[in-house]
A and B are shown apart, each in its own frame.
Chain A
Amino acid sequence: MAAGRVGLPLALGILVLGLVAPWVAPYGPLEMHPGQELRPPSRTYFLGSDEFGRDILSRVIHGARISLLVGLVSVAIGMLAGGTLGLAAGYWGGVVETLATRLADCLLSFPAIILGIAVAAVLGPGAVNAAIAVGIVNVPTFTRLTWSSVLVEKEKEYVLGAECLGASDPRLVGQHILPNVLGPLLVQAAIASAQAILLEASLSFLGLGAQPPEPSWGAMLNDARQFLREAPWYGVFPGLALSALLLGLNLTADAIRDALDPRLARA
């Protein structure tokens, strides 16, 4: 429980900082200062400057926006597509079920980052494409989770009751089953967002996600690699921000899981 008390403020703090970035960052994320390249941390450049004389602090703060965007978009894609497939598979069964679950199995047989790389390679580079790639990686987990929850829910009496009252298929699924399977989906969304942000950063680090000059943390670390000797601070701060955000999200997800499963909390 203590973990959640640290994690949630940490994650929210970084994300809020990203939201208000244009007002709190000392400089613009793309603003270059000729003659000020690779300066060490100082009063003017709190976390130093990069190879184009851009303020690293401003870029790190703006980088949170990309992580936030990718996290939201990819989890939304995973939840919408995966949730719909899972609902349809669980409710109708038969061919729909076979197709949806086999598709999920197929996607799950790739390690996440490998699938991400493959999709990103097909879609081409860019932050939005990276978000879509990460979203596709998210689909099978949501499909399986929704599918298994629906299988349990649809056998319950309240569904039979609604059916007897003459409820149509869309009404049964939308009004009765969906609200009852939403809980586990939201927990999974919290877990998936941390993985999504990590995956985007990895893709950007490999040059397959956000492209320069966008201030993505992964892309910044990729650039920083060439200047580790001259400007070690360049390689430190974007990674620190990314690690802090992931730590916050992971601790929050752990706390949610513990709160929902008291059996685990004891161990």
Chain B
Amino acid sequence: MRAPATLELAAAGLLVGLLLGVPTGVLAALRRGRVADYAVTATNAVLMSVPNFWAGIALILVFALGLALLPPSGRIPVAADPARALVFLLLPAVTLGLHIAAIFSRFTRTALLEVLGEPYIRTAQAKGLGQGAVVLRHGFRNALIPVVTVFGLQAGYLLGGAVVVESVFAWPGLGRLIVEAIGNRDYTTVQGALLVFVTAFFLVNLATDVAYAWIDPRIRLGAAGRRR
């Protein structure tokens, strides 16, 4: 019952993190040492330090109470009304996503800088490829490996962060269920919900390992040296 709400929030948070983090990381790497790079790096340092529950409170203060643009709390199931569901999802998703956005941004920047120093990038440029093709097809794809690793590591943050963010926005997910159950001394529910969380964490880590092979064909799981 509660799991879909948490899943929805975690997926949306991840999406926000990717959409904000990866482009800013690429931008910072391409503009290395310039104003844009410093701006992105400094913003990342701040975003990584702001606790998600306070980010949530700050966003509520600005967007829900100050500007009255978005609802401060609650959830509407996507099936009931997709447009309104998105409106309710926006603030919690951004709250959850900001921290991962900073981490994705930082790792994308580092990975891309490292890759752009490789000889095959010079080869691609020497072939006369445009800057866009070089960065995207040759640079970015190879920079993806560490970014995927980070995703695996952040899966725990996504799930754990969801617990806290759900409490801020009265989001009816598994996390709030745990907190409420602890308040009611309902330990069976706590155990069950914890089990679901840890299983999910496990599955995401497994999926991450599989994703390596998909992104980098040189990494093959199991049977060694099998060719495509």
Partner-B contacts on A (CB < 8 A): 3, 109-114, 117-118, 121, 194, 198, 201-202, 205-208, 218, 221, 224-225, 228-229, 232, 235-236, 238-239, 242-243, 246-247, 250-251, 254, 267
**Residue-wise interface mask of B (62-75) relative to A, using a CB-CB cutoff of 8 A (1 in contact, 0 not):** 00010000001000
The chain A residue with its CB closest to the CB of B181 is A121
Q: Return chain B residues, CB-CB under 8 Å to A118.
A: 190, 194
In the complex, which of the residues B61, B163, B187 contacts A114, with contact meaning CB atoms closer than 8 Å? B163
The chain B residue with its CB closest to the CB of A112 is B160
The chain A residue with its CB closest to the CB of B113 is A267
Q: Return chain A residues, CB-CB under 8 Å to B72.
A: 228
The CA-CA distance from A228 to B110 in the complex, in Å, is: 39
Is there a chain A Cβ closer than 8 Å to B197's Cβ? Answer: yes
B110 and A267 within 8 A (CB):
yes
Can you list 18 A-B contacts with CB-CB less than 8 angstroms, sorted by A residue number?
Answer: A110-B198, A111-B159, A113-B164, A114-B201, A118-B190, A201-B51, A207-B179, A208-B182, A218-B53, A221-B57, A228-B60, A228-B65, A236-B61, A239-B58, A243-B54, A251-B45, A254-B45, A267-B110
Partner-A contacts on B (CB < 8 A): 45-46, 48-51, 53-54, 57-58, 60-61, 65, 72, 110, 113-114, 155-157, 159-161, 163-164, 167-168, 178-179, 182-183, 187, 190, 194, 197-198, 201-202
Closest 9 CB pairs of A and B: A239-B54, A111-B156, A113-B160, A247-B49, A111-B160, A246-B49, A121-B182, A243-B50, A235-B57
Central interface residue in B57, B167, B168, by most chain A CB within 10 Å: B57
Q: Return chain B residues, CB-CB under 8 Å to A239.
A: 50-51, 53-54, 57-58
A112 and B156 within 8 A (CB):
yes
A235 and B61 within 8 A (CB):
yes
Q: Return chain B residues, CB-CB under 8 Å to A236.
A: 58, 61
The CA-CA distance from A206 to B57 in the complex, in Å, is: 14
A225 and B168 within 8 A (CB):
yes
Q: Return chain A residues, CB-CB under 8 Å to B60.
A: 228
Q: Return chain B residues, CB-CB under 8 Å to A208.
A: 179, 182
The CA-CA distance from A242 to B155 in the complex, in Å, is: 24
B167 and A206 within 8 A (CB):
yes
In the complex, which of the residues B51, B65, B197, B198 contacts A243, with contact meaning CB atoms closer than 8 Å? B51
Known A-B contacts A225-B168, A236-B61; the reply to A117 vs B202 at CB < 8 A is: no
B46 and A113 within 8 A (CB):
no
Q: Return chain A residues, CB-CB under 8 Å to B194.
A: 114, 118
